[in-house]
Every structure is written in structure tokens, then in C-alpha cells.
Structure 1
Amino acid sequence: MSNTAIKVENLSKAYQLGQIGTGTISRDLERWHARIRGKEDPFLKIGETNNRSTKGTSDVVWSLKDINFEIRQGDAVGIIGRNGAGKSTLLKILSKITAPTTGKISGNGRIASLLEVGTGFHPELSGRENIFLNGAILGMRKKEIQRKLDEIVDFAGVERYLDTPVKRYSSGMYVRLAFAVAAHLESEILIVDEVLAVGDAEFQKKCLGKMGEVSNKDGRTVLFVSHNMEAIKKLCPTSILLSNGLVDIYDKSSITIDKYFDFHNSTKESINLNSKREGLKTILFTEFSTLNEKFEKVTIIKTGERLIFKFVLEAFRDTKNVDIGFSIHNSQDNMLSVLYSSYQDKLYTLSKGRHEFLFEFDNNYLSNGIYLIRGLLKDNSAISDLPQDPLGVLTVSLGDFYGTGSIGHQTSGINFLFKGKWI
């Protein structure tokens, strides 16, 4: 245990879904009678893991189920997974914000966490007072906190507002100060959720640098949840992939991320109609795939190669003026480009039933990297389908983009290549 920062054994967390009644007065009375006797609900259905793509039949959902892993002191570990995989629940349990339903956690050291905007700060207290409050919670003395104060304020860039109640801070200021407090105060374990997405790009880069320093130089343990796979690769040598409340893999980050995108691709060719999506739902995306020049389904393509997107739609009524849109996002889910069929004066008339559409790129200018494809359908200008999850994931590898007969240079961080002439 001396070299172990966190050990999780058979950890599970269950949440009961809201329910007004059981359908009949007699059943409600039986439920009430069981509750006052301290007995289990006789009509409670349990046992399902948290799969948001299915409707489910249970009244209790396992957000986490039998989680086991061990993290050594000084390790930086990424935690990745789709929305609803259980990432935030796991961090809340590790941070002792919520209790597990079953299982055991062994921790070696004080934990500083940055989870949701507002967690750990009292809105009526000033920034300065909240710094001292958080330090006291970690067991630090006033003199120790005072020595760190200037570093915290300088990192957060809130000196002018230090004595202002934090309830008047913008979300960006709030996160900057909260991260500075968590990273600079003396804890052995730093836990950071996706809240860094609130900050601007420059501050995100600054935070990633600080987390790397905390792990590599200070020897502290870092747990980092993010959908930014490039940041995970850069900061965390190892990562945990959660899937529907279960640990899918705990390995080197490169292997774990590949498994994540393999899983994502395998589930995205056919799109579950029960997954979370906004709109009228008169027309829905049902399938998406990427094709090569031979019209073969692929998930990896080289820079400059012919690229075709295939969309399969289901219309639930006859309709006119259907606008098909898609956007391309980088691995950080920042949108790079968007295109609607209406941009090219194409609005479609659909009969009830299944329809296929192909979009071929004149030129594939995508650089090497991982890209998310999102979709949006409009029915007479009203949103019909806006899926929360990407339709698919495309990996672009290095290719002979410039036609010189050699593989192009690594272009990490660059999303588009371009051609031109030197004159």
C-alpha cells in the first residue's frame, strides 16, 4: 500500500430512477407499508447497467458496477468514455462527494478535486476567503496557505477581484481560481474533471502544463477526465476506459484511446433510435459510414485519399424541404467545418421510409488525426434530428498528400492541409 495512491475494489454506485406511483392504490400502499417497516421496495426492479442508448426496464440503474483498479503514487491517469459511462460519478466517489453503494476505496494522501463549476467554493465568500477555506479543508495551516497565495492569484489572474464574492465571478474566472487552488495547495492527489472546457484555449494549455508539472516534478497523483484525446495522450501515460459503468480497459493511453474509438466506430454504423437526440423526430439518422474510393466501409483513411460519407435516414411521414447537414470536429470536439445540403440549393422531398445519401469530397484536406462527424436534419427549417453523440469517428493517417511519392510530415495540431503553386 506504500506505493499506492488509490485502490478501488468492487466499487458500485446505484441510482434509483424517479417514480410517482406504481400504477394502483393497493401497490402504493404496499410500497408505503414496506418503507415504514424498513423493508425493500417489493416492486423495485434492479440490475441494469447505465446504458443510455436503451430504454431499460429497471427502477435502479448502476452508474458504476464492480469497478476495480489501482493507481500508484505519482501516476497521471486519464479517464475516458462516452457520455453516461460513469466518469463523473467515479470522480465524485473518489473525492468523497458521494458515497458508493457497495465496494471499498483506499486512499493514501489528501485529495484536491475540481469537478463541477462551483464545487468547493462558498458563493458568499470572496476569492481570498475561499482560498483559505479550501486550504483549511485540506488540513493546511494559515501560514502555509499564505505562502501559496501569490502563486494562486497570479496563476488565476484574478488579483483585481480577489476580495469580491465569487458569486459575482464569471464562469471562466470561477474555474481559473478553482483550478489554481486545487493545483497549488498541498494535496497528494489532484482530480480534474472536464470543467477546463469552460476556460479559453490559452488557459487550458496553461492548466495542462501545470498538471504535467504537478505529476512529473512534484510527484503527485493526477486523475484527469476529458474528451480531449490529444490532451489525454500528452498528459497521461495510462488511461482507464469506462463503458456503461464498467472498466473496459486500463492500459497505455495510446492503446486505451484506440479501443475507445474502435468501440465508437463499431457502434456508430448503426445509430440507436433510443439514444438522446433533439428535434421533431419526423426524420432520423439511422446509419452513418465512411467509404473509400472503392465504396468500401472504412474507419481509417489517408490524407488526400478520396472520401465519401454515407447517410441513411428514416422518414416517418412524407415530407418536403429536407435539409441534410453535417459538421466535422477535431478530437477536442471543436467544430472545424459545417455543410448543409441547402448551401448547394439542395432540399429533398422524402416519402415515408428509408433513404440513402452519399456526399463525396472533391478534395480531402484533412490532416492526420482523429475527427468526429456530427449530424443535423431539418424538416421545413425546423430541427428534426440533432443527435447528442457523433454519428461516427474518422481517423486520418499520413499519406502522399502532395503527390511527391513520399509520406507527408507529421502535422500534429494542424487540422487542414492545402495545396498551391510556388510562382
Structure 2
Amino acid sequence: MEKDIILKVENVSKQYRLGQVGTGTLSHDLNRWWHAVRGKENPYLKIGDTNDRSTKGTSEYVWALQGIDFEVERGEVLGIIGKNGAGKSTLLKILSKVTAPTVGSIKSRGRIASLLEVGTGFHGEMTGRENIFLNGAILGMTKKEINSKLDEIIEFSGCERYIDTPVKRYSSGMTVRLAFAVAAFLEPEILVIDEVLAVGDAEFQKKAIGKMQDISKGEGRTVLFVSHNMAAVKSLCTKGLVLMHGKVAMIGSVESAINYYLTQDSESMNKKVFSSEFDKKEFTIHEISLNGLGKSSDDALDEYQQIEMYTLFTLKDDSKKLHLTFVLNNDSGEPLFTFSHINNEIKLNKGVNKIKCTLPKGFLNIGTYYLSLYIIENSKTTLFVEKDIISFVVQEGERSIGSWMGREPGFIKPKFDWSIESC
């Protein structure tokens, strides 16, 4: 069956010059012009550092995006994820034609509506009602088309009381509500949304995600969605694209993309040795490791194993009554449960302690998990917190032929006692 491609991005790259506004010096401009006259490539496209905000770099040019290639089918919801500075917003601005790519091309079929930043496309002095017509006109809608949707837009936004008030008096949440309602109800073929929904309250976020699902599934339109909320990405998107330092790190199913994004900086397998920054006045954290029963931390964990977790910890003063509390989070950052050695009335001794915690056989489902560590003094004062201090993956175990292959719903698989009673 032939694919219905609505958006095609080919070798898109975007280069910026650091430190100054404009193209740079007159000599650079003359050099570009001289190369263009002779039909040659811009000489400054051959230089420039990779987009890594954490390093100093050696060039005054940086590639915000480099060699981006992907296709989006009609009705697909593409989640674009990556760290801050990975190039997500730059890509969306290029797709929305706010800025042009340095090299490469974008081919789209139909109107593109964008929600890039709070208040983008709104005029502060105009009322909410006037801005609806302004945005509709920008999207290429006629006045008659906008009028036919006006009541639905106002009702969905929840801003009816303020619809004839200038937008400059709106809160950021109200502005986003109205902007989203306009973009969603004026029926663009491609809807581009960049993180702005995080400004809205929980009730509006739920409404907005429901509307985006209706847009893609019911109406067959395409959505490009950028968010750091992995739960929202997972619930909404059908496909995921991970950006890393301005390049496509991977593209595939939304589950695979999220898993790749969350584990890209993890150390190998299930062990972490800590540096001197975890050497404190009262204690030192040396190491946390996980392994299947009878195996080492270099071996993969699977869903049927009994898992042993070891924490190597030095208590420097036994007058300090410290205990370690762990919070287990899933790959969307949601806490699953909390556990601590104090529940078993185990006390830490002065010196090195090797603390063992055993998870029951087959307790955790397939997936990626993150441990956060809290060190508590006297059961009430938090001395130390480190979120996502270590991550680990539970893989699919060996299954008999003919059994269910794949991940069952849920994150834990407790073994309850079952029996058949006589009637």
C-alpha cells in the first residue's frame, strides 16, 4: 500500500553564528557573495561545531540542526523529544516557516498551524475575539469559515468572559488556551505544538490531549508534538523522533524512542560507581548495583528473576541515625512505590555497610526503571536527595512457544495467593 506522505524533511540543517546579531563581519558577507557569484557553496557551511551546549567549542559557528531527514504520514502523531538545546524548537520553527533552513528542503501538503511559544501570533492590544480572526486569516481561512467555528473555539478555550478583553491582560494559561483552540478548530492539515501545553492547568492539558487525539484519529490530520512530559508523549503519539546535539539520534515507535531518550546517558548495565561529589561530611555513597539471583551486574535483568540490589555506603558518625529510602519510578517519571531498610529495622553501623534489598521473583514487568535516593536523619530530616541516581532495564524473559509475547499492562507483577474453594 502506497504511503500518504504529508510532510517530507530532506537534509535540513540550520547554522547560527554565535555571539553577534546578523551574519557577522563585512569580510564574511563579501566572501559569501563572491562564492555565490561564482556558483560555489557558502564557505562557512564547511565549518561549525556540533550543537552541544555543555561544551565551549572552537568555532564561532554552530549547527543547531544538521542533516535532518524524516517523513510523516497523514494522520500520524509524531513526538519530537530530546534534551534542552537539542534543536527541537529550531526544527519546529523551520517547519512552521518562521525561519528558513541553511540547507535542505521541506515539502508539505496543506496548511500548517503552529503553537510555538506563549502568545506567538497574538496582538496584545487586540481582544481575544479579534485575535481569533487575525490567526484564522494568517492560516488562510476566510471570515465565513472562522465565523462558523467561532462559538466552538470560545467554548473550548474557556475564556468566554474575557473574549472581548485585550489579550495583554490575559494570563499565560488563558493565552495558551485561546491559541490552542484557534489552532485546533481552524482545521489545519498539520498541527505543530511546542511544549506550550505545560503552561495550562491539568484540566486543560487533558482537554487538549483529547482534542489532539480526535484531530489525528477521527479527522485524519497530522500532529507534531514536542514535550518533556513522557506520559503525554506516550499517550498521544504514534511515532517518536529523538534529537541529540542537532541530529536525529533515532526514529521509531514511540515506546522505543522514549526508552532511547531516557537511557542515552545511562552507564552500562545495572551498576553505578559514584565520584567524590557523593562523599559528604556524614556519609559516602560508593556504589549501587543490581543483579539477578546468582548473576553479576553485567548480566541483563529479566522479568522472571529474583533481583538483588546492593548499596555500598559508609557511615562516618554512628551518632547519626541515617536511613536510605529509595523511590522507584517508571520510564515516564511516575513514582511506583517507596522502600527503605528501616522498614526491616536494620540499622547502619559506623564504617562501610553493604546493604542488600531483594525484590521478589517476577515482581517487575518489562521496562526501564529509575531509582531516586533520599537519605533521612532521625526519620524526619532529609539530608540528601538525588533523583534518578541509577537506571536499569528489565528485559523480556524466555517464554514458551505459544504464550503471550510482549509487555503486559502495568509495571509490577505481584504474585497473589489464589485457590479454589469448595462450593
Tell me whether the two structures share a fold, i.e. TM-score over 0.5.
yes
Q: What are the residue-to-residue correspondences of 1:11-410 with 2, within 5 Å?
A: 11-18=12-19, 35-38=25-28, 46-52=47-53, 54=55, 56-260=57-261, 263-265=264-266, 290-294=290-294, 296-297=296-297, 300-302=301-303, 306-308=306-308, 327-336=327-336, 360=357, 368=365, 370=367, 373=370, 375=372, 391-395=390-394
Q: How far apart in 1 are the matches of 2:389 and 2:49?
A: 24
- Contact preservation (8 Å) 2:273, 2:286: yes
DSSP 3-state at the match of 1:37: helix
> In structure 2, what residue type is equivalent to 1:110?
R
Q: How far apart in 1 are the matches of 2:91 and 2:55?
A: 22
> In structure 2, what residue type is equivalent to 1:35?
T
DSSP 3-state at the match of 1:206: helix
CA drift at 1:138 = 0.4
Q: How far apart in 2 are the matches of 1:92 and 1:272?
A: 41
Q: Residues 246-301 of structure 1, C-alpha deviation per residue, up to 9 Å, x if partnerless?
A: 22333333444454456454568788999xxxxx8876999765433346336655
Q: How far apart in 2 are the matches of 1:44 and 1:410?
A: 46
- Contact preservation (8 Å) 1:45, 1:57: no
CA drift at 1:67 = 0.8
CA drift at 1:65 = 0.8
Q: How far apart in 1 are the matches of 2:349 and 2:15?
A: 46
CA RMSD of aligned residues (A): 5.0
The equivalent of 2:38 in structure 1 is none
Equivalent pairs counted in the alignment come to: 389
For residues 109 and 44 of structure 1, do their structure 2 counterparts lie closer, same or farther at Cα, with a shift above 3 Å needed?
closer
Q: Residues 119-178 of structure 1, C-alpha deviation per residue, up to 9 Å, x if partnerless?
A: 333334333222222111101122211211221222222222323333443443333322
DSSP 3-state at the match of 1:145: helix
Q: Residues 203-229 of structure 1, C-alpha deviation per residue, up to 9 Å, x if partnerless?
A: 333322221221222221211223444
> In structure 2, what residue type is equivalent to 1:208?
I
CA drift at 1:94 = 0.9
Q: How far apart in 2 are the matches of 1:233 and 1:4?
A: 22
> In structure 2, what residue type is equivalent to 1:111?
I
DSSP 3-state at the match of 2:75: coil
For residues 360 and 137 of structure 1, do their structure 2 counterparts lie closer, same or farther at Cα, with a shift above 3 Å needed?
same
For residues 177 and 240 of structure 1, do their structure 2 counterparts lie closer, same or farther at Cα, with a shift above 3 Å needed?
same
Q: What's the TM-score once normalised by structure 1's chain length?
A: 0.69
CA drift at 1:335 = 4.5
Compare CA radii of gyration and give the structure with the larger one: 2
Q: List runs of 5+ in structure 2 lacking aligned partners.
A: 33-42
DSSP 3-state at the match of 2:225: strand
CA drift at 1:184 = 1.0
> In structure 1, what residue type is equivalent to 2:331?
S
> In structure 2, what residue type is equivalent to 1:333?
G
Q: How far apart in 1 are the matches of 2:293 and 2:252?
A: 35
CA drift at 1:240 = 2.1
CA drift at 1:339 = 7.4
For residues 141 and 59 of structure 1, do their structure 2 counterparts lie closer, same or farther at Cα, with a shift above 3 Å needed?
same
Q: List runs of 5+ in structure 1 lacking aligned partners.
A: 20-33, 275-279, 400-405
DSSP 3-state at the match of 1:105: strand
For residues 173 and 346 of structure 1, do their structure 2 counterparts lie closer, same or farther at Cα, with a shift above 3 Å needed?
farther
Range moving further from structure 2, 283-292 or 105-114: 283-292
CA drift at 1:307 = 4.2
- Contact preservation (8 Å) 2:115, 2:196: yes
Q: How far apart in 2 are the matches of 1:92 and 1:348?
A: 57
